[in-house]
Chain A
Amino acid sequence: MSDYILKKSFELMARAVRVIPQGTYGHFTPAFAVPGSYPYYFSKAKGSHFWDVDGNEYIDYMCAYGPMILGYANDKIDDAYRKQASLGSCCSVVSDLSVDLAERITRTIDGADWVMFAKNGADTTSMAIMLARGYKKRTKIVLAEGGYHGTQPWSGSNSVGINPSDRTDIVMVPWGDLNAFKEVIAIHKDQIAGAMFTPYHHPAFEDQKLPESSFWPAMRRICDENDIMLIIDDVRAGWRLDLKGSAHYFGIRPDMACFSKAMANGYPISMLVGTEKLRITTSKAYLTGSFWMNTPEMAATLVCLDEMERINVTKVVKELGEALMKGLVDLAAVHGLKVSISGPPSIPFMKFANETNSLRSQLFCGECAKRGVFFHPHHNWFLSAAHTMEDINKSLEVADTGFKIVKKNFGG
């Protein structure tokens, strides 16, 4: 297999940088992958594959960084979206679909007594901390170091234009560290309104961290004892561990949970769900967005939920992820390389065990991209139900070459 040529990608990027800061920004910036090895623009996507503007085909293990779970351009979901769009997208009053979807969500997500729809995960994380503060009449919010909840000023993911006051009431603890959590509660006694964590730790650049079985029950207990709202940010992990929510998967009920990404298989919709006790506070808040009640996304979500349930999506993506990870570990060993796999099989991340600077990962992932397999060296990967064992086997063939090149360049 010859290396891909990325001529049109570069030509487009040269045009883009004149009119778009960074050419393209945020998690899509090619600068954080391996520029020169990765495509910059796609022209079409179907199933588990996409094609770049130069016509190169990729098996995609990033799934649009999570939203794609049933395959790109899924006919059932796209038909539902198109049909609803033909009836009107946003309107001067909301659609009956919002009621249907909210009822469906409360039946699906464990502990969800009410639902607030929005567009992106960040809408819901901001909403959640606002409601926790409103409910508790306290100011402070506890977050985990290295956690990601969007790019809002309070979230800590940005360094530009942030006032210290934006984060005055944010308290950081290491993810999974109950003692540190207890310490900040003692320091800020009766000031902490809420604690927001991802269901497991999925930082960029680092191994993912799954919770000990005792962690979440203990966290729930500590929050209850101190009257702190426990918020789960399930934006990234949601729908790949358990359709009832990742919190259910790990055996707890949060007070609020945030969802987005895969809930409509790529269409923009997010939601905050909460328990009964927060209903009145939520009812008093003025929360809205121009497109939050758009109907095609809701139609897509309803079909996506049905389809995920019908095919038992969490089992499918878990098994595919297990096959891919086992294959990678075995292949690496054949080449005398040691890799570390972290996170759930459906949202895995692979690093080389003997490095912290990602140089081997960058070389490996870059070489795989040049041969049609889209992994990421710094961000966790995603499996979808559209991936097949044929995809996995082809990807492992390419990975074999990638490992060979790493071995040649680094020796081990």
Chain B
Amino acid sequence: MIDQKILSKIYLGAVLPTMEALSIEDPEASSYAAQWNGRIRIAVGFTGPRCDIAFKDSRVEVESGGRGRSNVYLFFPTTKMLNALFTGKGLSIPIPLKGFTRLKGLKVFSLLAKRMEKVLDGGAAPEKIMARITMDIMVRTLAIIAGDDPELHPLAQKLHGKMEFRIKNGHAAYVDFTGGRPKSIVGTLERPDCLFEFATDDIFLKVAEDKVDVLAEASLLNISLKGDLHMAQVVNIFLDKIGAYLPQKEVAK
């Protein structure tokens, strides 16, 4: 059973930030982002998850929390309505509390969202970009469900340390389980407590798509698993759960 509130957090906190990377790495997305400067807030209910999408000089930043001034304010009365925006299933009509005359901003957001969907569907971006955004979605989702999912949270509380996912000579991101809420961070560590390193973008994407025998690839040295392997075992349970929250296309096709 998927908790719709957690799913909303994943969409706003893990999937939507893909726009950031696309505005930098993907020329088409960058050209859309360049068409408007401003800030769009998305909020679910009065106490639900929210975020701001800031457009500035062809770059996009997605900030969770939604504080300060925004030019456009899209209010989704329920998590289900917000989630429907991403899944395309069910009714998804936000209430424009503010800025509904800022058609330019809404148009740019819509163009970017369509581009993001196309990229996430696969085939529209180079493998390197796919690997980067997939890893970021995976790690951000991992941190969210480790903190919020009632089955996973007790397991996450027993973990102590930082687990890094890294593509050899490429992108890296990690989850910090050192205390309090698990946090996802893009970047690499000198000595993570547990390291999951993939020889190539392709191997990583296949792991993300659940199309590879991870332990076999580890034995063949295409994947390196070092450090706290107990943490790796637990995180593996979390990774399996990501598939339950996100339909395959949100991770990669």
* Residue positions of A touching B, CB distance < 8 A: 10, 13-14, 16-17, 21-25, 29-32, 35-36, 40, 159, 204-205, 356-359, 362, 378
Residue of A nearest to B214 (CB): A31
- For residue A21, which residues in chain B have a CB less than 8 angstroms away from its CB? 213, 216
Residue of A nearest to B223 (CB): A31
- For residue A362, which residues in chain B have a CB less than 8 angstroms away from its CB? 226-227
Tell me which of A17, A204, A359 contacts B219 (CB under 8 A): A17
Min C-beta distance of B174 to chain A, whole Å: 13
The proximity string for B residues 220-245 relative to A, scoring 1 for CB distances below 8 Å and 0 otherwise, is 11001111111100001100100000
A31-B215, A159-B237, A357-B161 as given contacts; A13 in contact with B220, CB under 8 Å: yes
- For residue B131, which residues in chain A have a CB less than 8 angstroms away from its CB? none
Contact (Cβ within 8 A) B219 A23: yes
Q: List 15 A-B contacts (CB under 8 A).
A: A13-B220, A21-B213, A21-B216, A22-B219, A25-B215, A35-B224, A36-B221, A159-B236, A159-B237, A356-B161, A357-B227, A357-B231, A358-B227, A359-B227, A378-B229
* Residue positions of B touching A, CB distance < 8 A: 160-161, 191, 193-194, 213-221, 224-231, 236-237, 240
- For residue A13, which residues in chain B have a CB less than 8 angstroms away from its CB? 216, 219-220
- For residue A356, which residues in chain B have a CB less than 8 angstroms away from its CB? 160-161, 193, 228
A17-B213, A357-B161, A357-B194 as given contacts; A29 in contact with B228, CB under 8 Å: no
- For residue B220, which residues in chain A have a CB less than 8 angstroms away from its CB? 10, 13-14, 17, 23, 35
Tell me which of A31, A159, A358 contacts B218 (CB under 8 A): A31
Question: Other than the known A13-B219, A31-B215, A356-B228, what 17 A-B pairs have Cβ atoms closer than 8 Å?
Answer: A10-B220, A13-B216, A17-B216, A23-B213, A23-B215, A23-B216, A23-B220, A29-B215, A29-B219, A31-B225, A35-B218, A159-B237, A205-B229, A356-B161, A357-B231, A359-B191, A359-B226
CA distance A35 to B224 in the complex (A): 8
Most chain A CB inside 10 Å of its own CB: which residue of B221, B230, B236, B237: B230
Most chain B CB inside 10 Å of its own CB: which residue of A14, A17, A22, A357: A357
Contact (Cβ within 8 A) B216 A35: no
CA distance A359 to B225 in the complex (A): 11
Contact (Cβ within 8 A) B219 A35: yes
Contact (Cβ within 8 A) A357 B193: yes
- For residue B225, which residues in chain A have a CB less than 8 angstroms away from its CB? 31, 35
Residue of A nearest to B218 (CB): A31
CA distance A271 to B240 in the complex (A): 36
Contact (Cβ within 8 A) B229 A358: yes
CA distance A25 to B213 in the complex (A): 11
Most chain A CB inside 10 Å of its own CB: which residue of B213, B214, B217, B219: B219
Interface pairs A-B: 10 shortest CB-CB: A31-B218, A17-B216, A357-B193, A357-B228, A22-B215, A31-B215, A205-B230, A357-B227, A23-B216, A30-B219
Most chain A CB inside 10 Å of its own CB: which residue of B214, B216, B221: B216
- For residue A23, which residues in chain B have a CB less than 8 angstroms away from its CB? 213, 215-216, 219-220
Min C-beta distance of B248 to chain A, whole Å: 19
Min C-beta distance of B11 to chain A, whole Å: 26
- For residue A159, which residues in chain B have a CB less than 8 angstroms away from its CB? 236-237, 240
- For residue B214, which residues in chain A have a CB less than 8 angstroms away from its CB? 31
CA distance A358 to B191 in the complex (A): 12
CA distance A32 to B160 in the complex (A): 19
- For residue A30, which residues in chain B have a CB less than 8 angstroms away from its CB? 218-219
Min C-beta distance of A361 to chain B, whole Å: 10
Contact (Cβ within 8 A) B193 A35: no
Contact (Cβ within 8 A) B194 A22: no
- For residue A204, which residues in chain B have a CB less than 8 angstroms away from its CB? 230
